[in-house]
Amino acid sequence: MTTVADESPSQSETSAASALAPQIGVIMGSASDWDVMREAGALLEEMAIPHECRIVSAHRTPDRLYHYAKSAKERGLRVIIAAAGGAAALPGMTAAMTTLPVFGVPIETKTLKGLDSLLSIAQMPFGVPVGTLAIGRAGAKNAALLAVAILALSDEAVARKWEAFRKRQSEEVAEAPPKKP
Ligand code: RP5
């Protein structure tokens, strides 16, 4: 199966799991976020979950964001993952314009190590929630897994994949550290 790992967000459209109507939307504020967000795309690809990856900037392409968020539900998306760095408005603004669940991934920044991104995404006012993940790659991958967990609530095939992932993960943990350092 083609993975999105080595491709840009737009090229990832040709991948197998993206050929079906997407259920998960992965958006990011800049092409520079793709190095981290490709991890979310790769995980969804690996689990064959229909998804799309797009660059949508709250500050640089506000019209694109408006159209994306407003059309997301009617296009069949069930969950949106939004990643941004710095003054990271994208997840919150997306959540403001859709009732779909939105997960935010804070991208690590050079100046403040992603603390700026984290606080911008986490500190939403009451009534417009964004589920905020860890800064960087772990957050990107966990956002994908949370989105899968949500789909699994109403899709048995996805539930089986999700349970298999968790089982495999547990089985891969050794009981003791390796003898040689
Ligand atoms: C944010 O600004 C993006 O999400 C990115 O993390 C950050 C820097 O963007 P570039 O200047 O690299 O395009 O909007």
Give the integer Cα–Cα distance in Å for 155 and 179. 43
Average pLDDT, the chain: 92
In the predicted model, what is the mean pLDDT of residues 17-36?
Answer: 91
Q: Quick check: 19 pLDDT over 70?
A: no
pLDDT tens digits for range 47-89: 999 999 999 999 999 999 999 999 999 999 999 999 999 999 9
From the alpha carbon of 107, which atom of ligand 1 is closest? 6
List phi, psi (to 5°) of 88.
Answer: -80, 80
Q: Quickly state the pLDDT bin for 10 (edges 50, 70, 90).
A: low
Give SS3 for 31. helix
What is the rounded CA–CA span in Å between residue 38 and residue 107?
A: 12
Each residue of 86-106: b (16+ CB within 10 Å) or e?
A: bebbbbbbbbebbebbbbbbb
pLDDT above 60 for 106: yes
Q: What would be the CATH architecture of the domain defined by 16-166?
A: 3-Layer(aba) Sandwich (3.40)
Task: Work out the average pLDDT over 32-44.
Answer: 98
**CA 33 to ligand 1: nearest atom:** 6
User: Cα separation of 106 and 121, whole Å?
Assistant: 7
What contacts 169, CB < 8 A, 6 or more positions away?
A: none
Ligand 1 atom nearest the C-alpha of 29 is 4
Distance, CA of 129 to CA of 103 (rounded, Å): 9
Would you state the structure tokens that stand for residue 7, as one six-digit string? 């491709």
- Farthest CA pair distance, the chain: 57
Ligand 1 pocket residues where CB is under 6 Å: 28-30, 32-33, 57, 59, 84-86, 107
What is the 111 CA–ligand 1 centroid distance (Å)? Answer: 12
Q: Which amino acid is at 176?
A: A
Distance 59 CA to ligand 1 centre (A): 10
**Alpha-carbon dihedral of residues 36, 82, 113, 11, nearest 10 degrees?**
30
**144-161 tens-digit pLDDT:** 999 999 999 999 999 999
Going from N- to C-terminal start, the domains of the chain cover 16-166
pLDDT confidence tier of residue 1, bands split at 50, 70 and 90: very low
